Copies of this chain bind each other. A is one copy, B any other.
């Protein structure tokens, strides 16, 4: 009995943690400091990226809401539950897809914006860069177009509004500079022109298919030609 005594003596001090709880879910609350259970970043980043690519395709094709995790899993050749080894939730997949996309997008934009170009060059470079991003991240762009409006209200997708604001500022500044320097027409409603250019470019993601005859640069050139000079014959 003394023997037993000793061995149990030990466990006594094994800290078990404190009186936390939660009779149920708790996710959807942003990255709570501790108490994580799921990977989030741990498992093989390659598989993760691969799965996100698949998920992005399905989201883009069917819309986020209409996409069931089962459809994603099917597309990935696994069972629905297995996705949860890699991701916290369907929503966190969406989040990561969009965040990754925006990060890369801003890489490109920042390079352009810091290049010291004049307004017209800047506009051309931004449009071209946008079509390149559509080419590279078609699915993410399509998702962004369809879902961002709904998502911005969630804390978790805060970065969407942040990005939108930076985006707007970059474009407005460019357009205003162009007007001031006399390269863009001064009878334009700049905000309207901003929306015009912005939407016109990004909506292209809804019909663009990579490898479909036009390179992104070609499309950009044609769009720029229309946006800058119009479709009517110069008289």
Q: What is the count of identical protomers in the complex?
A: 4
Q: Does A117 lie at the interface of the complex (its beta carbon under 8 Å from any beta carbon of B)?
A: no
A182 touches B233 (CB 8 A): yes
A188 touches B231 (CB 8 A): yes
Cα A226 to Cα B184 in complex, Å, equals: 11
Interface size on A, as a range, is 35 or more
Residue in B15, B21, B75, B147 whose beta carbon sits within 8 Å of that of A20 in the complex:
B21
A193 touches B150 (CB 8 A): no
Residue in B74, B91, B197, B230 whose beta carbon sits within 8 Å of that of A16 in the complex:
B74
A8 touches B50 (CB 8 A): yes
Question: In the complex, which residues 111-168 of chain A have their Cβ closer than 8 Å to any Cβ of chain B?
Answer: 120, 136-139, 146-147, 149-154
Q: Find the B residue at minimum CB distance from A188.
A: B231
Cα A193 to Cα B200 in complex, Å, equals: 11
Which chain B positions have C-beta within 8 A of A196? 200, 223, 226, 231
- 9 smallest CB-CB distances across A and B, nearest first, come from A16-B17, A21-B150, A21-B153, A230-B230, A65-B65, A229-B230, A199-B203, A18-B20, A11-B53
Q: Knowing that A5-B10, A8-B53, A203-B203 are A-B contacts, what are 14 other residue pairs whose CB atoms are under 8 Å apart, sorted by A's residue number? A: A4-B104, A5-B7, A11-B56, A15-B17, A16-B60, A16-B74, A17-B61, A19-B150, A20-B150, A21-B152, A23-B24, A24-B28, A189-B222, A234-B234
